[in-house]
């Protein structure tokens, strides 16, 4: 229920208790870190709300009136309860600010998060971070269920109940082994040809797979040659010549530079996907979660 106006603000009562304990408005003012005129003004405001004189003032100093002593006795457990409430809230905030659970899709977890977490360490050195990785659907579920405070996804679609902010756009690359016929192909691959080719693919729920499905939506996609849940395993399968794959450009940069994989250009399809940070739409980011989101936005 709404608190009555006379007792809704406890600062004046807290100051009155200090006057009773320390024996004067001047001493109470010093204890509260305010000037004596400011303390006198607060006491006068309290007296106006209560409707009786609470402090008797004289050239020798100030002391509580009979009514002031009664009000102080009544106010003491209320002010102490408010102090207990503040201590409890501070403890909850301390728990929040020293523990952060992050869920991230594989691309972000492997190639971007390490440097972001290193930056967070300099901003919030006391924060212990727990990281879980999975596909974008799994990350979204963890954030929605409260298992994770913050999530990083690469999928184009999100369930309702999540707030998302785009960090950067990630290019997808069609890659093959150096021995694959497409590695020596001069003409670029058309979307219909890519769609009809069985690929080494991520599992359903992966942001990479869903982005490719949407990019090739006008065409019927062939069933995957092989489904794997690890980017490293997919790259190894492609190197062995099992089939081509479409992976994030960041994940194959080393292999393309060394020549163990070859990029094949695709024309007529938008092979990009957004890397996004997500959290429950009903919440406002605070503490280390807000710090990490800001670091990611700057660093992506």
Give the closest residue to 110 by CA, choosing from 138, 131, 128, 130. Answer: 131
| Overall average pLDDT of the 108-119 stretch | 92
Cα(238)–Cα(217) distance, integer angstroms:
24
Please name every residue paired with 102 in a beta bridge, in sequence order, or none if there are none. Answer: 131, 150
Q: What is the pLDDT of residue 91?
A: 58
Q: What is the pLDDT of residue 61?
A: 73
List Cβ neighbours of 58 (8 Å cut-off, separation of 6 or more).
none
| Overall average pLDDT of the 103-124 stretch | 91
Residue 45: count of CB within 10 angstroms of its CB: 13
Q: What is the pLDDT of residue 161?
A: 93
Read off the pLDDT band of 2 (50, 70, 90): low
pLDDT at 59 over 80: no
Cα(121)–Cα(142) distance, integer angstroms:
23
In the numeric block, which tokens belong to residue 256?
């393309």
Q: What is the pLDDT of residue 33?
A: 87
| Overall average pLDDT of the 99-103 stretch | 93
In angstroms and rounded to an integer, the radius of gyration of the C-alpha atoms of the chain is 31
**Residue 189 near residue 266, CB atoms below 8 Å:** yes
Residue 282: count of CB within 10 angstroms of its CB: 8
Task: Please name the residue that has the structure tokens 């004596």.
Answer: 36
- Percent of the chain residues past pLDDT 90, beyond the cut: 48
Lowest mean pLDDT among 50-64, 115-129, 171-185, 272-286: 50-64
In the numeric block, which tokens belong to residue 278?
């997500």
Cα(240)–Cα(247) distance, integer angstroms:
16
Cα(148)–Cα(140) distance, integer angstroms:
9
pLDDT in tens, 152-203: 998 788 889 999 999 998 899 999 999 999 998 878 899 999 999 999 999 8
Q: What is the pLDDT of residue 1?
A: 54
| Overall average pLDDT of the 78-87 stretch | 77
pLDDT in tens, 205-246: 888 898 899 999 889 889 999 999 889 999 999 999 999 999
| Overall average pLDDT of the 253-269 stretch | 94
**267 phi and psi, to 5 degrees?**
-115, 140
Average model confidence (pLDDT) across the chain: 88
- Percent of the chain residues past pLDDT 70, beyond the cut: 94
């Amino acid at each position: 229920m709404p608190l009555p106006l006379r007792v809704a603000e406890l600062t004046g009562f807290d100051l009155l208790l200090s006057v009773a304990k320390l024996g004067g408005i001047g001493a109470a003012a010093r204890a509260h870190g305010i000037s004596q005129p400011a303390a006198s003004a607060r006491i006068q405001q309290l007296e106006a709300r209560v409707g009786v004189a609470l402090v008797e003032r004289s050239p020798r100093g100030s002391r509580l009136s009979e009514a002031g002593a009664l009000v102080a006795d009544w106010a003491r457990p209320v002010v102490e309860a408010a102090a207990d409430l503040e201590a409890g809230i501070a403890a909850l905030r301390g728990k929040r600010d020293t523990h952060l659970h992050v869920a991230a899709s594989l691309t972000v977890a492997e190639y971007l998060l390490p440097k972001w977490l290193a930056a967070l360490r300099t901003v919030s050195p006391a924060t212990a971070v727990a990281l879980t990785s999975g596909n974008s659907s799994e990350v979204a579920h963890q954030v929605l269920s409260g298992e994770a405070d913050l999530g990083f996804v690469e999928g184009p679609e999100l369930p309702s109940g999540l707030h998302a902010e785009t960090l950067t756009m990630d290019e997808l690359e069609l890659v093959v082994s150096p021995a694959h016929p497409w590695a020596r192909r001069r003409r670029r691959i058309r979307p219909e040809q890519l769609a009809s080719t069985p690929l080494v693919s991520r599992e359903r729920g992966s942001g990479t797979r869903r982005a490719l499905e949407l990019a090739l939506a006008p065409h019927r996609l062939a069933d995957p040659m092989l489904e794997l849940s690890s980017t490293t395993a997919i790259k190894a399968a492609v190197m062995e010549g099992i089939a081509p794959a479409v992976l994030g450009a960041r994940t194959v940069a080393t292999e393309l530079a060394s020549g163990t994989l070859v990029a094949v250009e695709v024309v007529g399809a938008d092979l990009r996907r957004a890397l996004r940070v997500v959290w429950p739409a009903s919440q406002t980011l605070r503490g280390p979660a807000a710090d990490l989101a800001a670091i990611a936005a700057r660093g992506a």
